[in-house]
Each structure stands twice: as structure tokens, then as C-alpha cells.
Amino acid sequence: PAPRPSSTRLARARPRPRTSHHSTAMAAASGQSLMTQQANQVFKTLLQTPASNGKQVIVTNNPAYTTPNPLDALAEVTYEEAAALLKSNQLGVQKFFEEKDCADIGKILVEQGVSGHSLHMLSISNIEQDLGPLNLGQQLAMKHLLSKLRFVAKTQQRRDEIWSADEYYEVVESHPVEGCCLCPQWIKQLFAAPPQVQRVKLPAEKYGLTEAVLRIVRSGWVDGHSSQARHKTYTPNFGCGSLCGYSEDPDPQYRVQTDNIDLSCVEDVDSFAYSAQQKAVRPSCTDVCCGYEALTVMQPAEVVVTYVERGGDEEVTRKTLNLKVDPSTVEDVAQKIIAARDEAQSGDHGDFCFSGFASGFASPRSVHG
């Protein structure tokens, strides 16, 4: 008999189960739907009306339970109240807490020698350990007040100016040089230079330094003109300037831009001063005979500030700023910027998180309430 085929040859390969991307997506979708159902069930349980045998307590339904106490009044301090408190002496601090019905807190602060100027420098440990027998509620109220005082102090540091000045332009001095001949004044006027065309200039830059920022206010032409000064333009009257004259056009429009540079981003501060420079003049024969004006130019000194500007995606750009200042004050200005930079970078003021504190101030209407 013919040999039977082996079982190995007759056996067919069994198909392996395949998992397609469609089935994976369906499984993920079903898992997400299950999680959504569970979350909806949790929220439904939280928001549903309690059973008749349950007890729900809503204390805000009774006005007697929502009337603020004197300690709550410290949490409702307005920006104006906080700013005034920071400028007060010890008597002002005591009066503030007396008006807030927290006279015992004010008394303890005055006994410790704390005035309004140093009130925002209190630390959490000072409140908990150095202010005597304050209970827990009083400590929490003081911590809440302290957060707002720190915010106000920080904003005042960015606003109160240590130094301010306008952009310094070059100074041109003229010195008469006598000619070799005795020329009458009317002859000199015949050979005098024609008057310069009127020009319109942008306002000078304004510089301001606070404890936190270096502020520069500069201007630029709206139409994109690059020069700082430009000639005035005139329009002929009735289309004929030779007969009817000309009318002066309005000055071009310019925009004002304010740039605030955080002192913590300042890397280097350098200063430069220039000596007076006498302009070279080639006198003509008329000048040699009748005399002329020699010019001496004093250029403004410069304070060069190198700082880092951070953009999106952690992009860092290093920039320089040139401040044109009076040569007699250039060193003093540079030292003030350096001192303010060192103070801002030292961290003596504390790295407080002030986000949310501004929105926590009460309405100014409560001052008059």
C-alpha cells in the first residue's frame, strides 16, 4: 500500500490573531468612555439633592454667619490703604489697626518698634515667634495682610524713581576769530551764511531708574522715517507759491514707546566720556579778512548697559542700550545703575509670588464705607 502522507504535511497552519489599529482605537475609546461614565457618576453623586433623611448645612443662608469679624477686615484691605500704611510711622500703624478693631495687634507692633516703612519686611517667623501672644487667627490675618503689603511695596519699587534725566545732546560753542581787516558790520552780513532750513525733531529720550527697572521712553515717526530730525514741509497757497506764498504743513505724527528693562537681567554697565573737539574750519579769503566763527563740539557721554532679553521657548537675546547723558554726571549715573542692579540681583527683597495678590484687594469703595 502507498504510504500515507505524514501528519506534518497535512496539518495546516492556524491563522494567528491580528490586532489592527482599528481594534486598538476601539479598545481605547471604550476605556475612555468607561472613565467618562465613572466621572459622571461621581459628579452626579456630588451634585444630587440629598435624601430626605440626610442633613445639608449651608451656612451662608443666614447673614449672621457671613458678617466679617475684625480679623477678616485685614484681608479686605484696599490698595490705597496698604500704600498709605507703608508710608506711616508707628503712630500711623497703631491708628490703622485701631480703626480695623485690631488694636491689640497694632499695640504689639508698636512695642516691637515696627513702623509702616518696615512692615512689609516682616517674615513668617516674625509673626509666629516675635509678635508675642497672637492667637492662630491673628497670625493668619497678619500673614494675609503681609502678602498684600509685599505686593504694594514691590509695585512701588518699580515706580519710585532713583534717578531720571532727558537725553543729552551735543553742545556746540562758537568762538569769534578776528580777521586781518577792519570790515564794517554790513559787509559781514553780506557774506554771512544763509539761514538754515527749519527742521522738526523728535522729543528727547527720557531715562528713569527705579529699584527694579531701568525705564527708557523714546519716540519714532509713524511713517517710518529713520532720521531723528527732518525738514519742515510747505504747501503753496492756491497752487501758486510764488504769488500767494506758502503755508507750513503740520508736524508729522510720532509715537511714544516705553521700554522697561528688569535690573535682574542687566549683565554689565560701562561708561564713556569724550573730550571737547574743535571743528576743523577752512576759512575763505573773506573769512580771513573779515573774521569767522570757530566751533567747539562737546559730545554727550554714554552709559552702555548690556542686558539679556528672554523670549518664548527659552530664547535668550543679549542686547545693549546706550544712554546719552551729561558728561559731568556720567560716572554718578553708571554707579547708581550698578548699585540698583546689585540690589535687585541680591535677592534681599525676597522672591515672593505676587500673582493673585492684586486681585485680592478689596474695592476702593470700602475706604469710604
Given this model, what pLDDT does residue 61 score?
77
Closest CA to 247 of 262, 236, 260, 258: 236
Closest CA to 254 of 209, 291, 219: 219
CB contact at 8 A, 191 and 290:
yes
Q: Which residues contact 279 (CB under 8 A, 6 or more apart)?
A: 294, 295, 296, 297
In this predicted model, what pLDDT tens digit does every residue of 335-363 receive, in sequence order?
999 999 998 888 644 443 333 444 455 54
In whole angstroms, give the CA distance from residue 240 to residue 122: 76
Q: What are phi and psi of 280, to 5 degrees?
A: -75, 125
In whole angstroms, give the CA distance from residue 138 to residue 318: 48
In whole angstroms, give the CA distance from residue 305 to residue 335: 12
Given this model, what pLDDT does residue 186 score?
61
In whole angstroms, give the CA distance from residue 137 to residue 68: 13
* Strand duo 206-210 + 213-221: pairing: antiparallel
Closest CA to 149 of 110, 123, 112, 111: 123
Given this model, what pLDDT does residue 23 score?
54
In whole angstroms, give the CA distance from residue 6 to residue 157: 95
Given this model, what pLDDT does residue 268 score?
93
Given this model, what pLDDT does residue 53 score?
59
Given this model, what pLDDT does residue 8 score?
45
C-alpha torsion 109→115→116→120, nearest 10: -70
Radius of gyration of the chain (CA): 39
**Regions of the chain with pLDDT less than 70:** 1-32, 42-54, 175, 177-180, 182-197, 280, 284, 286-288, 291-292, 311-314, 347-369
SS (H, E, C) 45-84: HHHCCCCCCCCCCCHHHCHHHCCCCHHHHHCCCCHHHHHH
Which run of H or of E encompasses 247? strand 246-248
This prediction's pTM: 0.58
Closest CA to 213 of 342, 330, 340: 340
Given this model, what pLDDT does residue 87 score?
93
Given this model, what pLDDT does residue 11 score?
45
Given this model, what pLDDT does residue 90 score?
94
